[in-house]
Amino acid sequence: MDVFVLFYLSPELILMGFALLILGLDLLWRERNAQTLGYLALAALVAALGMSIVLGLRVSATDASGLQWGNQVALFCGVCGGTFADLLYWAPRDLADALYVSDNLTNFFRIVGSLTGIIVLMASFDYMRARKYAGEFYALFLLAVAALIMMAASTNLLMIFLTLEFLSIMSYILTGFLREDKRSIEAALKYFLYGAIASAVMLYGMSLFYGATGSLNLGEIGKVITGDTNYEIMALFAFGLMLAGIGFKIALVPFHMWAPDAYEGAPTPVTAFLSVGPKVAGFAVLLRVVLQVIVVYRNDWVTIFATLAILTMTLGNVVALTQTNLKRLLAYSSIAQAGYMLIGMASISFSANPLEGINAVLIYIAAYLFTNLGAFLVVIAIENKTGAVDLSQYSGMIKRAPGLAVLMVYFMLSLAGIPPTAGFLGKFFVFGAAINADLGWLAAIGVINSVISLFYYMRVIRPMFFEVAPEGAAPITYSRWIRAGLVITSVMTLLIMLLPMPLFNLASYGAQIFGVAMR
């Protein structure tokens, strides 16, 4: 195989190679040295993160800074000039026949996916120590992160479908990983049934695109649809069907019904991953499909996204008000957060700064990553020692675990969009993009929903600070791995707000690949 393919697929190959290695070692050791297998998985994720950063940097003699983000490679390209890979500087027409690309957007989601995996894995060490099949868990988890990255890099309908199913299958298995727990099995079954229906509907939408254009590649489909306005009704109908599958991964209304049960029944580290990983991959695919296929019909898809954003935000926030189980509450919070991200999608315009809406979505994703995973780390630390997942069981946490209580306040404020937090910066960019795209009314609805969310985020904080702990309740301790994860998430949640330029530049580089398509 061409050396270019190996190099530009190295993060994915590292993750899948280590997953197979862990499965093999687990068979030999028969559940002995499970912690060592966890460390191997962590090493794989760190290596994948390092290679993702390396792939995004290339030395440029003309660049005063010496480094410039922007290696763009079309992989497995049939007619664009190479047998396996072509080194290309990105333009949509150049990658029209690529199945898989390593571009700025792929590198952005490689970094996001690897960071998600690292933080979730840190939280899983204690959780899996006393449970069976830890080696299988670590291997499956690496495969899930690899699937996330592959989904973000796919530019072919068939590849999108295969990677989405790859991620879905890993998610189903991880959700039902607690084989003796009926809630876990029930959650996995519901997740699978909803996912199977959503995938079938999405596949039908893909078949319409293929039947009308004779191609599976997003770039080629976009050329045909852009060149003939008679395709408008078909294209929007097919996109609506595809949105069922993508919306299922993102947990958009009305494709969200699996999320609360899956979040509640899954192992809590898996719940943390489900709240971020599939959502990240779904938005990556959504950006590619919208801006490479139906970009010409902006007025129509803006209406679709604005409507879905309102429904998703409102339902997520309103239903969260009634939840007493913290995992279900965070499930509905995650649904609402997807609605805020959709405001950024609706704000993608062709104005003086056409990439502003894309930047806003990518910045929000990064801010949400650290904030939401930080909140779940607190939940995992408390659950590991007490088994508590209900709000009523969080009474007096300020005395039992003052550090966890204070951090939970900070993460809840960030999810609500209160400064100085990463969540505030994410909402600032999303709402600002909406206002600049003449969607001020949509930004206003987002602000109202943010105010509503404060009520249930405060419901999490109130018992921790203002209710008395049960008599004889012991202080809560947690491992160095959870402590390290909390340090990473809390510091990043603050730094993103105080020093936003590195994230802004990273998001801008990721958005630049769509610059040609939007002119």
100: in domain: no
Nearest CA among 362, 163, 179 for reference residue 245: 163
Which secondary-structure segment (H or E) carries 182? helix 182-213
Q: What percent of the chain has pLDDT over 90?
A: 30
Torsional class of 70: left (φ above 0), alpha (ψ -120 to 50), beta (otherwise):
left
The predicted structure's pLDDT at residue 63: 42
- For the segment 461-512, what is each residue's pLDDT rounded down to a tens digit? 888 888 777 776 777 878 888 899 999 999 999 999 888 888 888 887 777 7
State the pairing for strand pair 67-69/57-59: antiparallel
Instruction: Please indicate, yes or no, if residue 232 is contained in any of the structural domains.
Output: no
Strand partners, 101: 74
Domain with 485, as residue range(s), is 297-519
Spatial distance between the Cα atoms of 507 and 493, rounded to a whole number of angstroms: 16
Whether residue 5 is contained in a domain is answered as no
Whole-number pLDDT of residue 92: 37
Phi, psi for 321 (deg, rounded to 5): -60, -25
Q: Looking at the domain assignment, is residue 378 inside a domain? A: yes
User: Worst-scoring range by mean pLDDT, 58-67, 345-354, 395-404?
Assistant: 58-67
Residue 86 has pLDDT above 70, yes or no: no
Residue 115: pLDDT band (50, 70, 90) is very high
pLDDT, residue 46, reads: 94
Nearest to 432 by CA among 500, 489, 374, 492: 500
Q: What is the pLDDT of residue 1?
A: 46
Domain count of the fold of the chain:
1
The b/e string for 73-99 (b: 16+ C-beta within 10 A; e otherwise) is bbbbbeeeebeebbebebebebbbbbb
At residue 88, the pLDDT reads: 39
Q: Is 313 contained in some domain?
A: yes
447 within a domain of the structure (yes/no): yes
- Average pLDDT for 391-395: 82
Domain membership flag for residue 472: yes
What is the pTM (predicted TM-score) of this model? 0.89
Mean pLDDT of the 379-408 span: 84
Instruction: Look at residue 119 in the predicted model and tell me its pLDDT.
Output: 93
Tell whether omega for the bond before 463 is within 30 degrees of 0, i.e. cis. no
Task: Give CB contacts under 8 A, 24+ apart, made by 443-447.
Answer: 443/343, 445/309, 445/310, 445/313, 445/314, 446/309, 446/313, 446/339, 446/340, 446/343
Give the Cα separation of 320 and 327 in Å (integer): 10
Mean predicted confidence (pLDDT) in 53-80: 56
Residue 12 lies in a domain: no
